[in-house]
Structure 1
Amino acid sequence: MSRFIPVDRQTDYLLPPSVDEWLPDEHLARFVVDVVEQLDLSSLTQQYAGRGHKAHHPAVLLSLLIYGYATGVISSRKIERATYDSIAFRYLAANTHPDHDTLATFRRRFLPELEQLFVQVLLLAREMKLLKFGTIALDGTKVKANASKHKALSYGHAKKLEAQLKTEVNALIQRAEAADNDVATDGMDIPAEIARREARLAAIAEAKLKIEARAQERDAAEHTAYQDKTANRDAQRKAGKKPRGRDPKPPMGGPRDKDQVNLTDPQSRIMPVTGKGFDQCYNAQAAVDTESMLVTSIHVTQATNDKQQVMPLLNALTALPASLGKVTHLLADTGYFSAENVKVCGQQGIEPLIAMKRDVHHLPLFERFAAEPLAPDSEDPVEQMAYRLKTQAGRARYALRKHTVEPVFGIIKHVMGFRQFSLRGLDNVSGEWRLATLAWNIKRMHRLVVS
């Protein structure tokens, strides 16, 4: 008698198989379908004109994209292939097979609509009692752009290339004028060579204009900062105090030779990456609820520094429906600290806990259990926050930050496999980051429900 399970690939099913029987009851793909079916997709369906061949329903395409991003299958070609190879994807597609061009076009076309779908999922999480606004943690992570850092062109190198190409064009024109008397042209197509160089000159001129425009924005910001510092030092002198340090130097205007633009994705920026030096990236921001670990708000910026990213978060929170609740505390690391950020949080009724400097991870034993400091007499919001950070309750609340937003980034990047944007341009990558965090939220909701 054989001790092995029989292998039979020839016998037909006695009854047609049901798609609904392919997956376990608590499978993530089933949960994705349940969530998408509860969303209002009218903003998507109304944009179909109804001409030509019948289209795949937006609910099917959205479910495939959400499940794909949640499980590390991000490429539209891989999703198309998975509708044949994967039981979960076949279930999501109801045994149909949308091609990769349909999926890619749908994703690119409906990126703006993802913003209100993102909010709908938060409202659904609220109804399921999975989300209750209170304390949120804000952080950012560098996500690689769909561009190589080696395709960046600096202003100094652009000027050198421009001079070189103009010299070559002049030489080719002289060669063309003497072509009738020169029988040895070595098979050179002079008009094509001139056209190629003129096209490169036009691209370089466009790149230089972009660098110069960025330089003007930087000059305006540096000039404002210089005026503020000068006015502050003058006020100290009038008050009879001697300002510390040297007087600030006026900023040098205009583009610098090291200023650069990427020719593949001009809106991306060279940014420092942990352990890898520098890379072509975007700075993806996310605010995470500390209790549920659901992402409540996102945005993408070209700025490497996080200091200016508190205000966009506060504006986004203000735009959310009041039924989601009220944020009471904001946690952020030292990269977000400034007196202005602390002030605006207080003005919106949010108690900030933003690290003011880099602290050691493990305090000495007696410092951890030392008596709490006396509350300051000053009403200055920065001093008040500094006091809260030293209290036992403040330290315990701030410690939630590294247990919430940082693990979310780690899972999105290393478990879901979202380490690089597929799209280009700030608006497009903002929509794709929203899609990735939407997939995380649904994945997290599924885990909270089944656990």
Structure 2
Amino acid sequence: MARRQPIFKPYHQHQLMLLPPSLDELIPKEHACRVVNEVINNINLEPLNAAYHIKGSSSYHPQMLLKVLVYGYVSNIYSSRKLEAACKESIYFMFLSSMSYPDHNTINRFRSVRLKDAFRKIFEEVVLLLAQEGLLSIEEVYTDGTKIEVNANKYTFVWRKAIATNKEKIKKQLAQIWQYAQSMAAAEDDLPDPPDFTRINKEKVKDTVDKLNEVLGKKENVDKKMKARLDYVTKHYPANMARYEQQEAILDNRNSYSKTDPDATFMRLKEDHMRNGQLKPAYNVQISTSNQFIVNYTIHSDPTDTNTLANHLDQYEKSFGSSLKSLTADAGYGSEDNYTLLKEKQIAAYVKYGLFDKHQNKSFNKKHPFSADKLFYNQQGDHYICPMGQKMHYIGNRTNKTVTGFLQTARMYKASNCETCPLNGACHKSKGNRIIQVNVKLERQKQQADQLLKSEEGIRKRKKRCFDVEPVFGNIKNNHGFRRFMLRGRKKVEIEWGLIAIAQNLRKKAA
């Protein structure tokens, strides 16, 4: 009996079609590339068109390039070379580009140069479009930050402490040579006292070196080792000081920066693959979200979340022309200057302070029964009562200036007879009498924040924050593999993160 042959569907690779299908027919109706196409068709691109010159040869249409770039970030394709290949290989990119094939240089130039001044407006248009559809609120947001590594050499860096150490060495060397020159100077060319190096600069170093060469150059019996030291100082120290001043100008208020991306600061990254918290050049990315849509974003060189909120709010007001109604954030933003700023802007601040979560834990309160916040305060006498019932008297104020320039004032109270107290060692660890510092304004702000956070609305917002803003970073990093910027420089990084933000919003809309 003959074996039956299997039946296959027709397969004629080179057969011509009378009516070939269009790209539109090959793409599913709910596909993400259609969402990208629809959204970008409905936003104003006049600011982007202004980035092109009227004269010269024709350019690829910016609307097409923007669609290709945004959809690339939606589909986890970040490299300009891979985007170039996708325009020739993927029907989704062919649909968006209308069978145009821009090369990687064109795509990269568009991303780095053309979008530089116009991209923020494009992002804002997308957010407002999504808000009109009722998908998000631009008035009530959840704010958080993360650190993302930059495309920079992690072994070429500048540290503020290293500069300070080297400047101290310069001071010491010049002082020693000056002292030697004084011992060698004749009566008629006595040197004055060594110059004041309290604030050293390149001009002062150069003048000192020139004076030393003038005095010691006349002497015939100068020690060879000292002469060699002076030659080294003359050759290197003025140039070194000029370089240190230039580096300090780049540092500004930071402690470090990368030589290959001076805007980037060395930060400790949590998700380091070695799990040892290595310091790497990175940016602090701040976002505000609503229903997991990114409403606002800013890029910072400061690794501390506390110091970024003011600029973040300024960018929001610049983008949307009004202030927020409410902001919810974790304890990383709970500071006196931030609470003051939010109150001035009349924003409901559902912002935790440092020990809010621990204060909800009874075991923590039992472990710290003698903390300053548990001491009784006598308002009429303006004194605190220590755990042994003794008065702690007011001894003055202490003022501290933060990195952002905000002045904090704390009242200081001092106990007496701590040496003979039976609770000495348990009440406090200092050697002398216990001194506590009380920031009255901050304590009042903490009480107000505590009431707001424990209200029904505060509890709801605290719960929602965990699954509103935090999953956005997790989705971008873990699900879409974006853990390192490809571009260098803060302005270009802002564009790159803006593309990530639009991609996140359009993925969410498509879902």
Task: Identify whether the pair has TM-score above 0.5, normalized to the shorter chain.
Answer: yes
Query: What is the CA-CA distance between 1:133 and the residue it aligns to?
Result: 3.2
Residue segments in structure 1 that go unaligned for 5+ positions in a row: 164-199, 219-258, 366-377
8 Å Cα contact 2:317/2:323 also seen in 1: no
- Equivalent residue for 1:267, pick from 263, 266, 277: 263
8 Å Cα contact 1:19/1:94 also seen in 2: no
Query: What is the CA-CA distance between 1:445 and the residue it aligns to?
Result: 2.0
Query: What secondary structure, in the 3-state scheme, does the structure 1 residue paired with 2:280 have?
Result: strand
Give the aligned partner of residue 152 of structure 1: 157
Give the aligned partner of residue 487 of structure 2: 423
Matches within 5 A, 1:21-32: 21-32=25-36
Give the aligned partner of residue 279 of structure 1: 280
Structure 2 CA distance, aligned partners of 1:71 and 1:19?
18
Give the aligned partner of residue 460 of structure 2: 396
Change (3 A) 1:215 1:273: closer
Greater shift, 303-312 or 151-160, is seen at 151-160
Give the aligned partner of residue 289 of structure 2: 288
In terms of Rg, which structure is larger? 2
Structure 2 CA distance, aligned partners of 1:363 and 1:71?
43
Change (3 A) 1:297 1:433: same
Structure 1 CA distance, aligned partners of 2:263 and 2:337?
28
Matched, 1:355 2:352: yes
Change (3 A) 1:49 1:406: same
Change (3 A) 1:402 1:216: closer
Query: How many residues align structurally?
Result: 354
Query: What is the CA-CA distance between 1:147 and the residue it aligns to?
Result: 0.5
- Equivalent residue for 1:209, pick from 231, 245, 253: 245
Change (3 A) 1:393 1:37: closer
Query: What is the CA-CA distance between 1:404 and the residue it aligns to?
Result: 0.9
Structure 2 CA distance, aligned partners of 1:130 and 1:364?
37
Structure 2 CA distance, aligned partners of 1:45 and 1:215?
36
8 Å Cα contact 1:288/1:297 also seen in 2: yes
Matched, 1:116 2:121: yes
Structure 1 CA distance, aligned partners of 2:35 and 2:116?
22
8 Å Cα contact 1:133/1:326 also seen in 2: no
Query: What is the CA-CA distance between 1:201 and the residue it aligns to?
Result: 11
Give the aligned partner of residue 325 of structure 2: 328
Structure 2 CA distance, aligned partners of 1:202 and 1:62?
49
- Equivalent residue for 1:435, pick from 488, 496, 499: 499
Residue segments in structure 2 that go unaligned for 5+ positions in a row: 171-235, 363-439
Structure 2 CA distance, aligned partners of 1:23 and 1:362?
55
Matches within 5 A, 1:406-417: 406-417=470-481
Change (3 A) 1:8 1:391: same
Give the TM-score normalised by the residue count of structure 2.
0.63
Structure 1 CA distance, aligned partners of 2:154 and 2:283?
12
8 Å Cα contact 1:82/1:89 also seen in 2: yes
Structure 1 CA distance, aligned partners of 2:482 and 2:53?
33
**Structure with more of its chain in helix, by fraction:** 1
8 Å Cα contact 1:19/1:95 also seen in 2: no
C-alpha RMSD of the superposition:
3.1
Counting aligned pairs with the same residue, the percent is 30
8 Å Cα contact 1:69/1:418 also seen in 2: no
Query: What is the CA-CA distance between 1:140 and the residue it aligns to?
Result: 0.7
Structure 1 CA distance, aligned partners of 2:50 and 2:317?
28
8 Å Cα contact 1:267/1:426 also seen in 2: yes
Give the TM-score normalised by the residue count of structure 1.
0.71
Matched, 1:62 2:66: yes
Query: What is the CA-CA distance between 1:363 and the residue it aligns to?
Result: 7.3
Query: What secondary structure, in the 3-state scheme, does the structure 2 residue paired with 1:309 have?
Result: helix
RCO comparison, higher one (Cα < 8 Å, 6+): 1
**Structure with more of its chain in strand, by fraction:** 2
8 Å Cα contact 1:72/1:415 also seen in 2: no
Query: What is the CA-CA distance between 1:138 and the residue it aligns to?
Result: 0.7
Give the aligned partner of residue 45 of structure 2: 41
Give the aligned partner of residue 107 of structure 2: 103
Opposite residue 2 of structure 1, the aligned amino acid is P
